[in-house]
Amino acid sequence: MISFVGAGPGNVDLITVKGRQVLEEGDIIIYAGSLVSKEHLKFCKDDSKIYNSASMTLEEVIEVMKKAVEGNKKVVRLHTGDPTIYGAIREQIDELDKLNIEYEVIPGVSSFTAACASIKREFTLPNISQTIILTRIEGRTPVPEGEDLEDLAKHNASMAIFLSVQEIDRVVEKLAKGYGSYDIPVAIVYKASWEDEETLFGTLEDIGQKVKEKGINKMAQILVGNFIKGDYERSKLYDPSFSHKFRSASK
Ligand code: SAH
């Protein structure tokens, strides 16, 4: 059995209880060493075998999995955040299907929610946005047509932009074009939930400068939208004059 596990954003206690349990029982651990905290490995069995996938190809990862399963070993494939977002798990899953190897996927706390927690905000405010766009700028990996940041910004939705802080100037230009303004709140969260986490606040006008001053060029979320700063209406859910299935309106 192969368990794809979300390790969470960094802090070792932000893995799920289920994920930790599987990690404790794993015989073979393949972890994404560039982003997953090594602290997770202290929960593994003493005799577990640990691979860092940072220096491995897909073929090598699959080979390790295949041999392990042949030897009746439990494999944990530890991905950063939630494995279903920029995890490159689909290509592994498809290879496992071809080999008739069983697997499960255990979700994790993604860095986009961890980043929003760090700045103590809520993505979905009633009259501001009820939609969150998770995306990245195109780089060496392109994005499909219609998903350019400029087009996405036109929706005025709350945004969490992954894998892009090293390109902050291009990000800002595209967003400003889409929003039609530089006066849009932005927060940068570097290494959300790690001990050396940093947060920066600004607008499309000045955030590029701030990011460069701090020298942030990797492992950051770019959060964008009016959910970060400004007025909003309170929610109907907790409004005394609004009744719903679990509470009738007060008289
Ligand atoms: N599956 C992961 C994302 C992997 S892609 C998840 O759900 O979070 C890697 C990108 O995720 C990084 O470039 C960065 O944008 C973001 N990221 C990962 N960990 C982060 C953290 N602790 N703080 C801020 N951003 C992080």
| Pocket of ligand 1 contains residue 35 by CB under 6 Å | yes
| Pocket of ligand 1 contains residue 219 by CB under 6 Å | yes
Give the pLDDT of residue 237.
84
Residue of 198, 211, 3, 197 whose CA lies nearest to 89: 3
The dihedral built from the CA positions of residue 109, 113, 119 and 122, taken in this order, carries a sign that is: negative
CA 118 to centroid of ligand 1, rounded, Å: 14
Give the pLDDT of residue 251.
61
Tokens 């202290």, residue? Answer: 42
- Domain 2-106 falls in which CATH fold? Cobalt-precorrin-4 Transmethylase; domain 1 (3.40.1010)
* Res. 247: pLDDT tops 90: no
Give the pLDDT of residue 50.
97
Give the pLDDT of residue 220.
98
Question: What are the domain boundaries of the chain?
Answer: 2-106, 111-224
Q: In CATH, what class is 111-224?
A: alpha beta
Q: Rounded to two decimals, what is the model's pTM?
A: 0.95
The dihedral built from the CA positions of residue 107, 73, 25 and 111, taken in this order, carries a sign that is: negative
The pLDDT tens digits for 140-168 are 889 999 999 999 999 999 999 999 999 99
With bands split at pLDDT 50, 70 and 90, how would you rate the model's confidence at 248?
confident
Q: Rounded CA gap, 249 and 237, in Å?
A: 11
| Pocket of ligand 1 contains residue 86 by CB under 6 Å | yes
